[in-house]
Structure 1
Amino acid sequence: MYKNIGHRLASNLSNGYFNEDFSKHHVQLSTLQRTILAAGSAAVSLVDPFRGDMIACLGETTGKYSLNYCLEKMKLSDEGHKILLEKPRINTKTIDMTYLENLPDGTLGKTYHNFLKINNVTPDSRDHVKFIDDIELAYVMQRYREVHDIFHAVLVMPTTMLGEVTVKWVEALQTRLPMCIGGALFGASRLRPRQRQLYIDHHLPWAINTGKKSNFLLSTYFEKRWDQTLDDFHREMNIQPLV
Structure 2
Amino acid sequence: MEVLLRMQRASKARHALCSATCAACASPPRRFSALSRPPPNYPGHVPLTRVERGCLAIGSSVMSLINPYRHGFLSPLPARAEEPSSPRPLADLIAALGEATATPYFIYRLRDAMLADSTGRRILRLRPRITSQTLSLPALRALPTNTVGRAYVDWLDREGVSPDTRSSVRYIDDEECAYVMQRYRECHDFYHAITGLPIVREGEVALKAFEFANTLIPMTALSMFAAATLKPQERRRFFDIYLPWALRNGARSKEVINVFWEEQLGRDVGDLRKELGVEQPPDLRDIRKREREEKKRLKEIQANGI
- TM-score (structure 2 length as normaliser): 0.70
Matches within 5 A, 1:1-243: 23-52=42-71, 53-64=92-103, 65-184=105-224, 186-243=225-282
Does 1 or 2 have the higher relative contact order (CA < 8 Å, sep 6+)?
A: 1
In the TM superposition, what whole-angstrom CA distance separates every residue of 1:137-163 from its partner, at most 9, and x where no partner exists? 101100011001111111111111111
In the TM superposition, what whole-angstrom CA distance separates every residue of 1:82-141 from its partner, at most 9, and x where no partner exists? 111111100111111111111100100000001111101111110000111101110110
Runs of 4+ in 1 over 4 A off after TM superposition: none
Q: Is the 8 A contact 2:253 2:277 kept in 1?
A: yes
Q: Give the drift of 1:200.
A: 2.1
Q: Based on CA coordinates, which of the two structures has the bigger radius of gyration? A: 2
Q: Give the drift of 1:39.
A: 1.6
* Structure 2 CA distance for partners of 1:199 and 1:27, relative to 1, 3 Å: same
Q: Give the drift of 1:61.
A: 1.1
**C-alpha distance in 2 between matches for 1:131 and 1:226:** 31
Give, as a single letter, the amino acid of the residue that structure 1 aligns with 2:130: I
Computed over aligned residues only, the root mean square deviation of the Cα atoms, in angstroms, reads: 1.2
**C-alpha distance in 1 between matches for 2:227 and 2:50:** 32
Give, as a single letter, the amino acid of the residue that structure 2 aligns with 1:143: R
**C-alpha distance in 2 between matches for 1:201 and 1:49:** 22
Q: Is the 8 A contact 2:117 2:258 kept in 1?
A: yes
**C-alpha distance in 2 between matches for 1:239 and 1:38:** 31
Aligned length: 221
Aligned sequence identity (%):
37
Q: Is the 8 A contact 1:74 1:81 kept in 2?
A: yes
Q: Compare 213-222 and 48-57 and name the one that shifted more.
A: 48-57
**C-alpha distance in 1 between matches for 2:45 and 2:107:** 17
Q: Is the 8 A contact 2:42 2:175 kept in 1?
A: no
**C-alpha distance in 1 between matches for 2:99 and 2:188:** 15
Equivalent position of 1:13 in the other structure: none
Q: Give the drift of 1:23.
A: 2.8
Q: Give the drift of 1:51.
A: 2.1
In the TM superposition, what whole-angstrom CA distance separates every residue of 1:177-212 from its partner, at most 9, and x where no partner exists? 11101012x021111122122212211111111011
Q: Which has the higher helix share?
A: 1
Q: Which runs of 5+ in 2 are unaligned?
A: 1-40, 72-91, 283-306
Give, as a single letter, the amino acid of the residue that structure 1 aligns with 2:45: H
**C-alpha distance in 1 between matches for 2:141 and 2:181:** 27
Give, as a single letter, the amino acid of the residue that structure 2 aligns with 1:24: P
Q: Is the 8 A contact 1:49 1:55 kept in 2?
A: no
In the TM superposition, what whole-angstrom CA distance separates every residue of 1:38-69 from its partner, at most 9, and x where no partner exists? 22111111111222210101111110111111
Q: Which runs of 5+ in 1 are unaligned?
A: 1-21
